[in-house]
Amino acid sequence: MNTDKYSRRSFAALSAGAFISSAAALRAEDKPAAEVPPASASLPLGPREAPFERDYPAPKFQPKWKNAQINRLLIQDFVMFAHTDLEMVKKLLTKEPALVLAIMNWGANDWESGLGAASHCGRHDIVELLLEQGARPDIFCSAMLGQVDVVRTLITHQPKLIDVKGPHGFSLHFHAQVGGEKSANVLDYLQTVKKVELKPNPFLIMNEEAKKKAAEAAKAKDAPASNDNKESK
């Protein structure tokens, strides 16, 4: 079974420029179809902590909870906005700078930070902002940014990283692909290490369409001014 083929899960499209949180993510096809819950299956409205009881001695050193944790809903919102909304990322970082290091646990071993969200969506602008604000760079954002020397060095020291999965199970190849032209060098390198079948990347397509619409809007905005100038002459 090819674990690099993205299927079974899909992201919803943008609505009014915002990422819709009802989708999970494209993931590797790692379970038989029979195990996949139907789309209509009811889901909990919010996060829930798995039950747990120690079956081992408690650590001798116990933490002292002097400070309150960042609210989980705030972390959730920040990570969701970090997929696509630069202005809201800026706003929430002003409200709580420590969000730059926060990680959301979506369950089923799926962890995602704001940096991880922006990286797998190919949002260079949001990734650069988060790194400037102190986010901890990882191999996934390096792959998306086209930092081939960083990626090559890490994989050389730990070859198994070629198969490492990021948020929602996205591979290094996926991150290099979504980076577009800026990360083509990384994708070429990864393909020399492990060649995989590359499927159309939904976020790359979405970003290209957004750029095209923005360019058309800017052109339309400038058109009346140009016509006015011609008439005045």
CB contact at 8 A, 72 and 6: no
In a domain, 232, yes or no: no
The H-or-E segment that residue 226 falls in is helix 202-232
155-170: pLDDT as tens digits: 999 999 999 999 999 9
Residue 156 within any structural domain of the chain: yes
Distance from chain centroid for Cα 201:
13
Q: What is the CATH number of the domain that holds 21?
A: 1.25.40
Helix (H) or strand (E) holding 27: strand 27-28
Range of the domain at 95: 6-29+69-214
Q: Are 99 and 70 in contact (CB under 8 A)?
A: yes
Number of domains in the chain: 1
Continuous segment of H or E residues that includes residue 144: helix 139-145
User: Above 70 in pLDDT, residue 104?
Assistant: yes
Does residue 52 form part of some domain?
no
State the pLDDT at residue 47.
82
pLDDT attached to residue 220: 85
Would 18 be classed as within a structural domain?
yes
- The confidence score (pLDDT) of residue 113 equals 98
Q: Which residue has 């996949």 as its token pair?
A: 36
Q: Average pLDDT of the chain?
A: 83
Specify if 231 maps to a domain. no
Q: Is 28 helix (H, G, I), strand (E, B) or coil?
A: strand
Residue 172 lies in a domain: yes
pLDDT of 16 > 70? The answer is no
Query: Is 40 part of a structural domain of the chain?
Result: no
Place of tokens 């071993």: 109
Dist CA 11 CA 15 (whole Å): 12
- 49 vs 191, residue with greater confidence: 191
Distance CA(172)–CA(163), nearest Å, equals: 7
Q: Is residue 88 part of a domain?
A: yes
Answer whether 177's CB lies under 8 Å from 201's CB. yes
Q: What type of residue is 124?
A: H
The pTM (predicted TM-score) of the whole model is 0.76
The average pLDDT across 120-132 equals 97
Percent of the chain as helix, strand, coil, to the nearest 5: 50, 5, 40
